Structure 1
Amino acid sequence: MATNLVNGIADLLNRDIEKLKEEINAYEDETKLWQLSGTVANSAGTLCLHLTGSLNHFIGAVLGKTGFVRDRESEFSLRNIPKAKMLADLEQTRVTVATTLAGLQDADLFETFPVKFQSKDVQTFWFLSHILTHVSYHLGQVNYHRRMS
């Protein structure tokens, strides 16, 4: 059963995944999800696929042992995935994250994360803090992309 610190992390991730769903859903013209402009290297659709893959891999597969197999290359190469599929995948990701984190105790956060990150051992708390900022960073990019489209 999750405790205070874990609940705080879970609440923030839930908030940002819900906000990402709102941002993706706000694109009335689905083709704009994949639009690139100027020096912008990743579209909102690409960032959505990347966050879905990252969360399912690091929280789902690594912490939750869901069996998810990440295809990071496809996160950046796939195009024109229907908005409805991306929203459904985000919802499933939200459930996976919530379920996985609900199984953690605060003490688990101070254990070594099960896989190395950038060739280093890190605490699970450090890694989940990284994931929070990673999601928030890309969420801001999606918001900006949508407003500029």
Structure 2
Amino acid sequence: MRSETPAGLLGDLPDRGREHVIGLFRMVVALMFTCHGIATLFDVLGGSYSGTPDFAEWPTWWASVIQLVGGTLVFLGLGTRSAALVCSGSMAYAYFTKHQPDALFPIENGGEAAAMFCWSFLLVAALGPGRWALVGDRPARAATTPDRTTEQAPATPAP
């Protein structure tokens, strides 16, 4: 009986599915983030933990607008990297100003969601939108075929 490693059983499936998984991750995280903004701004979906903020109230109203607008942009894949970076930064701000003064670790200070959103959006900003983005802002991939219009100089042997 032949023993296969998990990588051998899967073949190149992880590589082929990478962009799909990144796209799904982006959309799920962004949808949950958008729901936080909707719940806080419009007192729906169970409402906010601290009540509905007044218009332009710092920082709650502004954070909710970032959640709504930024989450929607990331979900749709429009300006994904920039929007995800703003979302990540807003959650870092929320964690360090609201949660971290109460205790060091997120499990102690109630900042698990802020920390997870912060790191999740930072990952999306670094990896790009994956599949199903309305505007693909993935970096261009290197050409797989050599440019036939330029000639390559022969390699010189090392001394």
Q: Which has the higher contact order (CA 8 A, sep 6+)?
A: 1
Quick check: which one's helix share is greater?
Answer: 1
Query: By the TM > 0.5 criterion, same fold?
Result: no
Normalising to structure 1: TM-score of the pair? 0.31
TM-score where L is the length of structure 2: 0.30
Q: Rg larger in 1 or in 2? A: 2
